[in-house]
Amino acid sequence: MKRVVVTGMCGLSPIGLNWSEVDKSLRTRRSAIRIMPEWDIVPDLNTRLGAPLPEFELPPHYNRKRTRSMGRVGILATRSAELAIEDAGLIDDPILNSGRTGVAFGSSSGSPPAIGDIGKLMLTHDMDSINANTYIQIMPHTTAVNVSVFFGICGRLIPTSTACTSGSMAIGLAYETIQEGRQTVMLAGGADEISVSQAAVFDTLFATSTMNDNPTSTPRPFDANRDGMVVGEGAATFVLEEHDHAIARGATIHAEVIGFGTNSDGNHITQPTTETMAEAMQLALKDARVSAEEIGYVNAHGTATNLGDIAESQATLTAIGHRVPVSSLKSYIGHTLGACGGLEAWMTIEMLKGNWYAPTINLENIDPKCAELNYIVGDGLKQQSEYVMTNNFAFGGVNTSLIFRRWN
């Protein structure tokens, strides 16, 4: 089996559009959660909280001809991919168009405005809002195909529209694809754009935070006073590369991917199952050939939902034990849905490189129903680690766990 390394990565997050901005936000405990006044058009919506991206400008080559097939989610995916390719030093490398490079990418859905246009057609039978690109913008693999077309990548295309594990599933499947020798390079990640439709879906499940009078006090992962999640948006892309190829071209290596575990609960569409969540982590440990005691940090999915935090913490205790430091980055950026697996893996690797791990903000009183873990609070944790784990869990009972090794 071939070794797989990370030679490029980029994230577009609510707390920053590059690592320097994100690092500053984490160290100053800055939350991106804010009131969304544009959602006032939906009077029955309970939550008014979201975590949108900062404003940014696209380069001139993102012209209408090249972006007309993209909704916002496609644009976010493509731009993060371009920045990751630049980070890897592959932007003009012929390997991108050789068939030896593939794409694994996902989102929780297509672009909500385009989905709304289809909804208008269904309700009014009026086709005025439909055009030749509407379906391209709403199809489940819109991120994967737009990334592929934009860069002329003609290797394997692996769409991973698995809700909140879309990004982490993409990284895991891309890792396995290179490990098995089927591709030399893979672009892997996830994206999602913020929309009132997403907030409304979770609202109907009583899963959203309604601390509308104090936005930055929520979400509160693992806290006794948590009241639900906050929807965010973003994108992250990894350039994964076969180890020997990366070494031969003198690539800068951020970390090595050494373990991936995934399974499904097979039990309930929305309620998590502790046993299979723990098993996903154990599968990753087995794949990585490391023990639970060797893991230096766990990035938790940590959505701040009632059942989710309890199940995940108990699963983490079962698989990893109570000693390993744990925190949830969703306390800063909200739940970025299909982007979260990529964004949180990116931030976790950067923290691994910097020997500092961010605390969970708003965690003041640990819920006694949650497992007794080593939750990072306060000013964070200074620590040099060899191995880190990042976990994500999705509706439908889709579980993922990734393990990365420090590159020395």
Q: Which of the 8 DSSP states describes residue 108?
A: S
What residues contact residue 288 under an 8 Å CB cut-off, 6+ apart?
258, 259, 387, 403, 405
Distance, first Cα to last Cα, the chain: 21
For residue 263, the surrounding DSSP H or E stretch is strand 255-264
In angstroms, how far is CA 225 from the centroid of its own chain?
A: 25
Strands (E), 180-252: 185-192, 231-232, 234-242
Residues assigned a catalytic role: 164, 301, 335
Q: Is 20 exposed, middle or buried (0-12, 13-18, 19+ CB in 10 A)?
A: exposed
- Provide the β-strand partners of residue 382: 356
Helices (H), 9-71: 19-27, 64-67
CB 39 within 8 A of CB 77: no
Residue indicated by tokens 């544009």: 38
Strands (E), 15-142: 34-35, 49-51, 101-106
Instruction: Confirm if 340 and 310 have CB atoms less than 8 A apart.
Output: no
Q: Could you tell me which residues come within 8 angstroms of residue 392 by beta carbon, excluding any fewer than 6 positions away? A: 164, 165, 167, 168, 301, 340, 341, 344, 399, 400
